Amino acid sequence: MNSRRRVVVTGMGVLTPVGNDVEAFWASLMSGTSGAGPITRFDPSGMRCQIAAELKSYDAEDHFERKEIRRLDAYNQYFLVAARQAMKDAGLAFPPDDEMAVRAGVMVGGGFGGMETFIDEIRVLDARGADRVSPTGIPRIIANMAAGLASIEHNLLGPVSCVVTACSASANAIGDAAEIIRRGAADVMLTGGTEAAITDYAVASFGQSRALSTRNDDPTRACRPFDAGRDGFVMGEGAGALVLEERERAIARGARVYAEFGGYGMSADAYHITLPRPGGTGAARAMTAAMADADIGPADLGYINAHGTSTEANDATETAAIKVALGEHAYRVPISSTKSMTGHVLGGAGAVEAIASILAMEREKLPPTINYEDPDPECDLDYVPNTPREARVDWVMSNSFGFGGHNVALVFSRPS
Amino acid sequence: MDRADIESRLRDVLVSELGLDAAKINLGANFEQDLDVDSLGVVELLMAMEDEFGVKIPDDEAEHIHTVGEAVDLVHTKLNS
């Protein structure tokens, strides 16, 4: 008998390379639109990788005062923009005199923090000296500031924290936020994740590690998860935000419920700093744990939003992991990688993909894996190739894995 | 450089570098109370003044700057001493 508090999703917001709000994002997922292109943020000449999925038509001045922008790395801006959408979508506000504000918190995931500021400030230090470094540099850089800023903006006085687990960060954040509500420490959690790392340094360093696609002459076809011709991931950027809420409270106030939070599983590979453990047993344990937490079996799962980065190692290993965790059902469950369209939002990916998974369940259409052309014998499952598929599913899973061997799986269900 | 020149250039810096509201800037405006400049903003202000006018403003002198007029006076004194 399970008597723990139940958690539902009542608000969502996104800022992604394929759409700056939920509807635009969904439209791109349904049309199979890639957000990748030549890097415009800096001059990538001479670098191995010269492509990325940058935000389109994003202007900070549409969202913030000039005085604020000077103190906000894009990492923070992106989360604040997505968070405003999610809070508005949920119909929630906590004015200064609202006693419920102490029952609302924030949990944000991110991979780096304010990387662009960090790079710029180090360059100032080297070129001009210590007394020219900005006094607002550190608050722009530290990875937890997105959570702090969101609590300030929305007057959220409860638990406020941050998870930094590379590309699984925002999946961890969503799971941790749900746990906080389950154990009664808060009733509402603004959660999700953010990343703004399309910088010369990150593209150079990821490129040196041979993690990025070098299909520079064909950017929209560069990210091709599970395809035999995949050659690395394409960096993305942006944020995803969700409002999680204790179910009884959400129902009592008549909130629109998108999904119920079902389960949270995590595990460590304990194997290598960047490579997944061969055979996928680490990732499989996260999926198994998430299903157990949701009290379901493999046959209940109707869709998996894969981590699916388009690296040779991830996609083969994740395929193996799904087989370990789901057994024969692995061959029946539709799986797709929306990174084929969004690029890899790194610390924000888990949140963006949780939202994609929830929308797929709500709208009864599964987003495709685009650029899937040549099957890889090591990737022999159903990846919903190239076109969306109509399907009514009751349980969805979203996988997120991070450098360091972090494996996270989240399960959501159709609201009952 | 006379006081009017310094005030004009300082005003431009306050708007372009610190993002302050041009309409609120006058010689009597208090940085913290009238222009909403916090403790970190004061440091940014001092750095911007040093860069704009090519002067050094030690902490003990910076403590005496509370208004736009006091900032103009300090720069004027430094440039003409």
Both structure tokens of B16? 């372009």
C-alpha angle with apex A33: A30 to A34, nearest 5 degrees? Answer: 140
Listed residue (A182, A301, A304) closest to A244, CA to CA: A182
- Whether A136 and chain B come into contact, CB under 8 Å, resolves to yes
Residues B8-18, buried b or exposed e (16+ Cβ, 10 A)?
ebbbebbbebb
Q: Alpha-carbon torsion A255, A393, A382, A171, what sign?
A: positive
Residues in chain B: 81
Q: What average pLDDT does the structure give for chain A? A: 97
Is A223 in the active site? Answer: no
Q: What is the pLDDT along chain A (416 residues), one digit of tens a residue?
A: 457 999 999 999 999 999 999 999 999 999 999 999 999 999 999 999 999 999 999 999 999 998 899 999 999 999 999 999 999 999 999 999 999 999 999 999 999 999 999 999 999 999 999 999 999 999 999 999 999 999 999 999 999 999 999 999 999 999 999 999 999 999 999 999 999 999 999 999 999 999 999 999 999 999 999 999 999 999 999 999 999 999 999 999 999 999 999 999 999 999 999 999 999 999 999 999 999 999 999 999 999 999 999 999 999 999 999 999 999 999 999 999 999 999 999 999 999 999 999 999 999 999 999 999 999 999 999 999 999 999 999 999 999 999 999 999 999 999 98
Is B5 in the active site? Answer: no
Interface test with B, best of A66, A133, A140, A152 (most B CBs within 10 A): A66
- Whether A332 and chain B come into contact, CB under 8 Å, resolves to no
C-alpha angle with apex A39: A36 to A42, nearest 5 degrees? Answer: 155
The string of pLDDT tens digits covering residues A386-416 is 999 999 999 999 999 999 999 999 999 999 8
Contact A299, A262 (CB under 8 A): no
- Prediction pTM value: 0.96
Q: How many CB pairs under 8 A join A and B?
A: 22
CA distance to partner chain A, nearest, from residue B58 (Å): 11
**What is the C-alpha separation between A352 and A111, in angstroms, rounded?**
14
**What is the C-alpha separation between A70 and A72, in angstroms, rounded?**
6
Interface test with A, best of B25, B46, B47 (most A CBs within 10 A): B47
Contact A376, A138 (CB under 8 A): no
Alpha helices in A91-242 (DSSP H): 115-128, 137-141, 145-154, 169-182, 200-208
- Whether B43 and chain A come into contact, CB under 8 Å, resolves to yes
